[in-house]
Structure 1
Amino acid sequence: MKNISVLGCGWLGKSLAVSLLNEGFIVKGSTTSEEKLDLLEINGIVPFIIDIASFEEFDEFLNSDILIIAITSKDIDGFENLISQIENSSIQKVIFISSTSVYGSLNKVMTEEDEVLNTPLTEIENLFRVNTFFETTIIRFAGLFGDERHPSSWFKNKRKIPQPKGFVNLIHKEDCIEIIHEIIDQNCWNQTFNACSNHHPTRREFYTIAKLSNDLELPEFEENEMYKWKIISSKKVQDVLGYTFIHDDMLSI
């Protein structure tokens, strides 16, 4: 399977598409912005304007073997229409990029077996999970950082940071891309994976060091909140794929 379509060539999707090109795949990529078409083409990506809310036909874009969905839309109707089109396409495998936000803060370590919140995102996950026309692997990424997305720039304008005793759950863009490559290379389908660094310093420790590392003022924290936290376990992605995180020290980013 050498033809891949990446739905959503944004901050993560574009870098992913370029990495797949470098591995010898033929890559189609989508954006919702006319201005970004040239940027995709310059990088060797076959460009498309795709908005799942438009209910247009995406036949040419879906003429691939694998579809990677990297958009933030929670439009259930749009996804139902997209899935009906995938069913009638050559797509055999789907990677759906989800988020660890599907888990509540229950003051415990969260695995893929834990109950999730009743949200549009979990409903969309299930639309893909139960479909028998193609095979889907769902990746729940933790908070994304890397390149220009440095945590020192988060919580600007002196906004106080909540839950200082809680723990950070983050993953670097490079690890996101490598995990996707491993799923494709190992033909690992019909799975749900959490993907998050193994290192979970407290939010107070993490954001203090992140701000100081960029010579910024010390952050302020909300001190009187009810203590709520979660730690995302990535044990399954490491056990099943044999994956070793590249960026696994959150205090040296």
Structure 2
Amino acid sequence: MVNKEKTNPSISVLGSGWLGLSLVDEMVTKGFIVKGSTTSESKLKLIEKIGAKPFVIDIDNLITTNIRNFLETEILIVNITSKSVEGFQNLINFINNSPVEKVIFVSSTSVYPFTNNEVTEKSSLKECALATIESLFQSSTHFKTTVLRFSGLYNEQRHPGNFMKKGRIIQNPDGYVNLIHKGDCIGIILEVLKQECWGEVFNGCSNNHPKRKDFYIEQTKLIGRDSPIFNYSKPTQFKIIDNSKLKRVLNYSFKHDL
């Protein structure tokens, strides 16, 4: 019997921004056939330069030929900031009539309300557009969706100390920080692909949760900024994102921590 070597699937990445472009670059390096989208024609050459096939896709203005060609793929990674429920419903209608079998939907831990406690993937969600959009993907019977709820993204270029602009008043100083490094976001997506872990929901957040006050004083000091101003006048509201399911199911070890 001849053993056929398993080939990498074709993948389309909807949204080649700060996270998406780095993801596309990494997947091309690993031998995937990748299509990458942008809403700006000026970025087409940038996507093409790293070895992916570029497309202009705007979910609020889907051009039939463009989106159908973009969705000629096995796996779709949705990584855009739009909260247009109508736009996503329109997109899903096209996905339902495409060869796409699996979807990774990059969501956010902002779907969880403040609970002053830990939150897991089983915790209740806020009534918000993003939670509705998650549900639209999960309820389709035409493809399987894994939802990745990432916390606030950072890396060395997007330093947390720069989040605190001069004069900005920081709420909930006694609350806790929920962040994740861009490199870990890419690592988690690659593990979902590698392990073919579909139909799941995972919280993506660093292991450590320092207090907001302590963390942002330290981070602004590291880059030579003045310490931010904190508002102690309101009751503290916070949530601590539990990442234990992701580490258990994917056997993922975070490469970066706070």
How does the TM-score come out when normalised to structure 1? 0.97
Stretches of 4+ moved more than 2 A in 1? none
Read off the aligned partner of 1:136 and give its amino acid letter: T
Query: Does the CA-based 8 Å contact 2:150-2:204 persist in structure 1?
Result: yes
- In structure 1, distance between residues paired with 2:197 and 2:166: 43
Task: Give the secondary structure class of the aligned counterpart of 2:110.
Answer: helix
Of 46, 49, 62, the residue aligned with 2:53 is 46
Task: Give the secondary structure class of the aligned counterpart of 1:133.
Answer: coil
Of 68, 72, 82, the residue aligned with 1:59 is 68
- Residues 1-253 of structure 1: pairs in structure 2 closer than 5 A: 1-57=8-64, 58-248=67-257, 250=258
Question: Gaps spanning 5+ residues in structure 1: where?
Answer: none
Deviations 1:30-79 (A, max 9, x none): 00001111111111111000000003221110001100000011111111
- In structure 1, distance between residues paired with 2:85 and 2:169: 34
How does the TM-score come out when normalised to structure 2? 0.95
Deviations 1:5-30 (A, max 9, x none): 00000000000011111111010000
Task: Give the secondary structure class of the aligned counterpart of 1:68.
Answer: strand
Of the structure 1 ranges 216-225 and 133-142, higher mean CA displacement relative to structure 2 is found in 216-225
Query: Does the CA-based 8 Å contact 1:2-1:24 persist in structure 2?
Result: no
Query: Does the CA-based 8 Å contact 2:217-2:227 persist in structure 1?
Result: yes
Query: Does the CA-based 8 Å contact 1:164-1:203 persist in structure 2?
Result: yes
Post-superposition shift, 1:220?
A: 1.4
Post-superposition shift, 1:2?
A: 1.8
Aligned length: 249
Deviations 1:73-115 (A, max 9, x none): 1111111111111111111100000000000111010000000
> What do you get for the CA RMSD once the two structures are aligned?
0.8
Post-superposition shift, 1:161?
A: 1.0
- In structure 2, distance between residues paired with 1:18 and 1:159: 35
Read off the aligned partner of 1:207 and give its amino acid letter: Y
Deviations 1:103-131 (A, max 9, x none): 01110100000000010100000001111
Read off the aligned partner of 1:186 and give its amino acid letter: Q
Q: Percent identity?
A: 48
Post-superposition shift, 1:245?
A: 0.4
Post-superposition shift, 1:155?
A: 2.2
